[in-house]
Structure formats: structure tokens, C-alpha cells
Amino acid sequence: MSMALKQVFNKDRTFRPKRKFEPGTQRFDLHKKAQASLNAGLDLKQAVSLPHGEDLNDWVAVHVVDFFNRINLIYGTISDSCTDQTCPVMSGGPKYEYRWQDEHKYKRPTALSAPKYMSLLMDWIEVQINNENIFPTNVGTPFPKTFMQVAKKILSRLFRVFVHVYIHHFDRVSQMGAEAHVNTCYKHFYYFVTEFNLTDHKELEPLKEMTSRMCH
């Protein structure tokens, strides 16, 4: 493994602390099952399928947290070249601009620089996944009726990180020797969200051509 690629997996480069699953919990077991499928070299399309007898909400929760951790890491590796100066707008090329909106400071869609958008996004996701009322960790505690809606919103917004990285920073990814890793993570994410219809097709548009070459 090249030194550059080792940097990609260096925990110090992670944009945010990782959310871990507690050993002994059902979610931890599911996480291990998902990881085992990937480590066994199982086809990514098969690896995302819901295991027999498992609950869809649990399976989605495990993947939302895992993708958050992994996409965090990817953005962390290029964050030094994504600044207010280089990326004054959070975009995916000239046709797509992403505006930030939340329940607090930004009640209307607001244009922000890419690093500011990313920081708010990661903070917002962290709050969601650490909220026991949305992502319950105790076995037997039911998921709220709004869980899938929140999961879709998180995944749609995480997809925008891929869009920005691929369109504006892929030279940096290649320079670090991380292209294969990022591509694999993207394919895994794409197969998962399409398998369970967790992202609107219009969100996927910016990477449509690349996706058709990579995933079909």
C-alpha cells in the first residue's frame, strides 16, 4: 500500500469521530455481517441485499452510520484542497448547486461555500445518528415512523459529498492513490440506495454518466 493511500485510512484524517456500534448488540452483529460480506469479496450488488430474517430498518441504520463514517474519511482526505477560496459554492459542476437548510440557523435554502456546507452537514448527521429517538440502539426499542424519511435525507445529502469530490477534487483523490477505494465506496453506496429506493433519481443525475460506466 502506498504512503499516500495509507493516509486515506489514517484515523487522524477522519473529518469527524467515528460512530461505533456497541459489541453484543443486534446492530453490532449486523454491522459485522455486512463487513464480512464485503471482506469475503462478495459482489457489491449482492452484499447490499437484506439478509434473510433481518429487519430493514436495522439494516438501513447500520449502513447509514457506516456510510457516514466512510464518506467522512473520503472528504477528510481532500478537505485541505476544499476551501472557501477554491470552492466558494457547494456545487457539482456548473449545473448543480446545493444550498443548506436546517431547523435552526438556516431556515431557508442558503448558498454556502463547500467546506461550510460539509461542516454543517456532518454536524447535522452526527446529531441524527446519535439521537436515540431516531436511531435506537437498544434491542426491542422500535424505530420511529419517520426513521426511513430521515435516513433518506441523510443518504441524499451524503450523495452530494460524492458529487462534489468526484467533480471538483478527483485529481486530489487520484494523486493520493485513493481512486480504487473511493470508487468501491461509491459503488457500494449507489447499489445500496438504489436497492432500497433511498434516494430520488434527480439527486443521482450529476454522476449519471460515470455511474452507468462504473455500476452497470
Other residues' Cβ atoms within 10 Å of the Cβ of residue 75: 25
DSSP 29-87: HHHHHHHHHHHTT--HHHHTSPPTT--HHHHHHHHHHHHHHHHHHHHHHHGGG--TTT-
87 is in an annotated binding site: yes
What's the CA dihedral at 69, 72, 74, 76 to 10 degrees?
Answer: -140
185 is in an annotated binding site: no
201 is in an annotated binding site: no
Q: Alpha-carbon distance 12 to 59, whole Å? A: 28
Nine-digit cell string for 180: 480504487
Class of residue 48 by CB neighbours under 10 A (exposed 0-12, middle 13-18, buried 19+) = buried
DSSP state of 110: E
Q: Quick one: which of 59, 188, 201 has its CA closest to 135?
A: 59
Annotation: binding site for Zn(2+): 82, 87, 164, 169
Detail the residues annotated as belonging to a binding site.
82, 87, 164, 169
